[in-house]
Structure 1
Amino acid sequence: MNLRTERTALADPDRKIFVLVHGGAHGAWAFERLASLLVQEGHRVIARDLPGHGLGARLPRSYTTRPLNPQAFATEPSPVAHMTLRDYRDQVTGTVRRLAERMPDRRIILLGHSMAGLVLNQVGEAVPELIGRLVYLSAWMTADGTSFGDYMDAPEFSTGLIPSVLLADPAVTGALRMDFRSGDPEYRARVKATFAADEYVPDNPTDVRTLPTSHSPFVSQSARLAEILLEL
């Protein structure tokens, strides 16, 4: 797991607000352990469900039917396929603006996990003056002029673990589709290994920190992750 950060505007470094943005397969609940550790140190923490996730999630009917019908699961369109990156960007940007207005003395640390790296890119461009730090946690930190699709099509992506747990073509379903309720021990082991096992701005260099975890360090090493965040 790599954690990358970028410096932006600065305020009081001792008083922070951590805005935590979850990835595509999670909700705000994923940050429960991490949030409590940051709050204990006197910081504010905001974690909201992105549109179409968490309490607002809508599941494909084929996912709730057991035993799973692989054909239906691979072809049923996602009920949230209409959601776009703009929806996520607008929500997070609005949150950042309100926090900056109400607590101007606190520095805002915006953290995005996995898919939320794409959200951070756009929010960072929309309100750079309001953000003290961008933190890409095992996240998509795409270069200027490139897209998520460019990376998905790259040869390097085929050697990663995520393709091994995908059960549908995103072009067909409108979403990345995995079966977290699978009864297949081998498939569940792959999911665990994938997600839960133990020049862009030359004057603003990226700082990379590494933890020996898989894709979700807020689950497996929340205390160590909190320590790193508190150092920012």
Structure 2
Amino acid sequence: MEATKKQTQTHFVLAHGACHGAWCWHKLKPLLESHGHKVNALDLSASSINMKKIEALRTLYDYREPLMEVMKSLPPGEKVVLVGHNVSGLNLALAMDKFSQKISVAVFLTAFMPDAVHKPSFVIKQVQII
């Protein structure tokens, strides 16, 4: 009798970079899903099909709101692999500050990456872009 291998499903949350949308993950998302993983590729505020107007965004906090909503909606005990491209490194840093218990790993794909000494949002607060 052969033992069956239990597939471990990983939940990926994909955050796009500047001038992109969830569409930029169109090759990665189905590949991960075909291996049994759960994938959320989201449109940040005023990006792609997100209907928020760019004029309504005053801070980086406004821009990253869809990511924070996904993180908030995760059930207790669930952890995700958070992937951010380009400017979404800043969004990942903010999510890491607020939802560290819900993130198993953060992947910075050619993105701003915080250092290991300060809180992830340290640089953002230093340059006051929020």
Global fold match (TM > 0.5): yes
Compare 126-135 and 49-58 and name the one that shifted more.
49-58
How far residue 34 of structure 1 moved from its aligned partner, in angstroms, is 0.3
**In structure 2, distance between residues paired with 1:96 and 1:89:** 11
Query: Can you give the 5+ residue segments of structure 1 that lack an aligned partner in the other structure?
Result: 1-12, 59-78, 151-232
CA gap 1:87/1:25 in 2 versus in 1, 3 angstroms:
same
Structure 1 counterpart of 2:64: 89
CA gap 1:107/1:146 in 2 versus in 1, 3 angstroms:
closer
Structure 2 counterpart of 1:27: 21
Equivalenced residue count is 115
Q: Percent identity?
A: 30
Residue 13 of structure 2 aligns with an amino acid whose one-letter code is V
Greater RCO (Cα-Cα under 8 Å, separation 6 or more) = 1
Cα deviation digits, residues 61-102 of structure 1 (max 9, x gap): xxxxxxxxxxxxxxxxxx72542211233321220221x218
The reply on whether 1:146 has 2:120 as its aligned counterpart is no
Moved over 4 A (4+): none
Cα deviation digits, residues 111-149 of structure 1 (max 9, x gap): 110000000000110010011111111111144432499
**In structure 2, distance between residues paired with 1:148 and 1:28:** 27
Pair member with larger Rg? 1
Pick one of 44, 64, 85 that aligns with 1:113. Answer: 85
Pick one of 46, 68, 77 that aligns with 1:52. Answer: 46
| Helix, strand or coil at the partner of 1:136 | strand
**In structure 2, distance between residues paired with 1:115 and 1:148:** 15
CA contact (8 A) 2:43 2:66 kept: no
Higher helix fraction: Structure 1 or Structure 2? 1
**In structure 2, distance between residues paired with 1:97 and 1:146:** 24
TM-score (norm 2): 0.76
